[in-house]
Amino acid sequence: MNWQKFFTYDNMIDLGISIGIFLLFLVFRKIFTKYVFTLLLKLGDKSPTKLFAEIFIAFKKPVEWLFTVIGIYIAASYFPHFNQGNEFFKNIIGSMYIFLFTWGFYNLASSDSIFFRGINKKVDFDKDNIIIPLLSKALRFIIVAIALTVVLQEFGYNVTGFVAGLGLGGLAISLAAQDILANMIGGFVIITEKPFTKGDWIVTPSIDGTVEEIAFRSTKVRTATDALVVVPNATLVKEPITNWSKMEKRQNSFDLTLTYETPQEKVETMVRQIDYQLKNNPDIDQETILVKFNKYNENGYNILVHYFTKTTAWTEYVSVNEKVNFKIMELLRDEDIELAVPARALYVQDSRGSQEMNAMHRESDH
């Protein structure tokens, strides 16, 4: 370039106008930030849904830079020896517009936006707030992908071949990551169907413990031995899940076997007394009590004791059962009744062919 031709009087005037226009738009940007945006934000805060306020906040920075881009575009028309109609320059400006609008929508797709907060309240994901960030990331990815496609078209690239290449690449990745996809789908099923939530005690064929964290790939469970087990979600959704934390009451059932020497009257008395004690226990559900002399065992009369505790907490449940057991011990002592112990007779044949009973062995019934 011949600098003497560039630094002419007319060119200096055009250069001054160009710089002046650019600085003027910077002033407009400052005015917008300090006054106009503040006014719009106050108006948006008065709206019932706060939607306009969030839109203004999301597009604040993009609009500020929009003033800069417009200033560059208009200033370029006065810049000496610069062709504003240059195709590459027009593509750059167009791409900047696309980028700014994409930036605004990207901010608007945040997981903290009013749109996702509304979904969160309606679907009740407050306890396991995992799916909302995923939806936000998916929406942001779509916005960026669309913007990238439009920018490539702006520069004249063949987007069809590019998308086809992405499809083949995506197929290869999906085949190589089937387990990851299966776990993510399993995580989505767990989060939406909610067979359990954080803090629940669950039992499956592969795990027994308390849920500490639910993610899209895996679930962390704390076992009774205080070990932290990471279970793939694809494994969990394929197994039957027992959620003990969802119990409204907790079952306890056992047998009492009285010796055959126990008179009938005392057997009847034990049944009535145990039933009475259970029905007057405030910690036991009154609709599920069952105390019956139900069968003859090999070594005595069998009494079935079946009930549900009102509490489902393990320590409280054990305490209630302990009180019931102590009360039954008192009843057995007061009625002078013994529990039957399994007996086994052992016969040994001696060398002369006669049989003698050598021992009687008593075992504890566990």
Q: Is residue 347 part of a domain?
A: no
Q: Report the CATH number at residue 209.
A: 2.30.30.60
Q: Report the CATH number at residue 303.
A: 3.30.70.100
When pLDDT is cut at 50, 70 and 90, the band that residue 360 belongs to is: very low
Do 26 and 170 reside in the same domain of the chain? Answer: yes
Q: Is residue 365 part of a domain?
A: no
Q: Would you say residue 127 has pLDDT above 50?
A: no
More confident residue, 87 or 144: 144
Q: What percentage of the chain carries pLDDT values higher than 90?
A: 22
**Report field, pTM of the whole predicted structure over 0.85:** no
Q: Give the tokens for residue 97.
A: 């517009």
Do 214 and 66 reside in the same domain of the chain? Answer: no
Do 300 and 340 meet the contact criterion of CB atoms below 8 Å apart? yes
Do 25 and 170 reside in the same domain of the chain? Answer: yes
Do 97 and 214 reside in the same domain of the chain? Answer: no
Rounded distance between C-alpha atoms, residue 57 and residue 240, angstroms: 47
More confident residue, 58 or 360: 58
Residue 229 domain boundaries = 195-245
Query: What was the pLDDT predicted at 41?
Result: 66
Q: What's the average model confidence in pLDDT over 35-43?
A: 72
Do 114 and 100 reside in the same domain of the chain? Answer: yes
**What residues form DSSP beta bridges with 255?**
304
Do 239 and 258 reside in the same domain of the chain? Answer: no
Do 50 and 168 reside in the same domain of the chain? Answer: yes
Do 283 and 311 meet the contact criterion of CB atoms below 8 Å apart? yes
Do 317 and 237 reside in the same domain of the chain? Answer: no
Highest mean pLDDT among 3-12, 219-228, 341-350: 219-228
Do 27 and 101 reside in the same domain of the chain? Answer: yes
- Helix/strand/coil percentages in the chain, nearest 5: 55, 20, 25
More confident residue, 116 or 328: 328
Do 35 and 166 reside in the same domain of the chain? Answer: yes
More confident residue, 257 or 63: 257
The CA-atom distances, in angstroms, between 265 and each of 261, 298, 307 are: 12, 20, 24
Q: What percentage of the chain carries pLDDT values higher than 70?
A: 72
Q: Is residue 7 part of a domain?
A: yes
Query: What was the pLDDT predicted at 111?
Result: 62
**What residues form DSSP beta bridges with 304?**
255, 292
Q: Would you say residue 45 has pLDDT above 90?
A: no
Q: What's the average model confidence in pLDDT over 179-205?
A: 79
Q: Is residue 345 part of a domain?
A: no
More confident residue, 130 or 107: 107
Domain ends where: 208, 228, 245?
245
When pLDDT is cut at 50, 70 and 90, the band that residue 27 belongs to is: confident
Count the neighbouring beta carbons within 10 Å of the beta carbon of residue 319. 14
List, in order, residues 6 or more apart from 138 with CB less than 8 Å away.
none
At 268-312, the pLDDT tens digits run: 999 999 999 999 999 999 988 999 999 998 889 999 999 999 988
Which of the residue ranges 12-16, 95-99, 202-206, 271-275 would you say has the lowest mean pLDDT? 12-16
Q: Would you say residue 176 has pLDDT above 60?
A: no
CA angle (210, 212, 216) in 5-degree steps: 120
Do 54 and 110 reside in the same domain of the chain? Answer: yes
Q: Is residue 189 part of a domain?
A: no
When pLDDT is cut at 50, 70 and 90, the band that residue 247 belongs to is: confident
Q: What's the average model confidence in pLDDT over 22-38?
A: 80
Average pLDDT of the chain? 78
Do 85 and 43 reside in the same domain of the chain? Answer: yes
Q: Would you say residue 327 has pLDDT above 90?
A: yes
Looking at residue 119, its amino acid is I
Q: Is residue 212 part of a domain?
A: yes
Q: Is residue 85 part of a domain?
A: yes
Domain count, the chain: 3
Q: Would you say residue 159 has pLDDT above 80?
A: no
Burial class (CB in 10 A: 0-12, 13-18, 19+), 310: middle
Q: Is residue 263 part of a domain?
A: yes
Rounded distance between C-alpha atoms, residue 178 and residue 340, angstroms: 59
List, in order, residues 6 or more apart from 227 with CB less than 8 Å away.
none
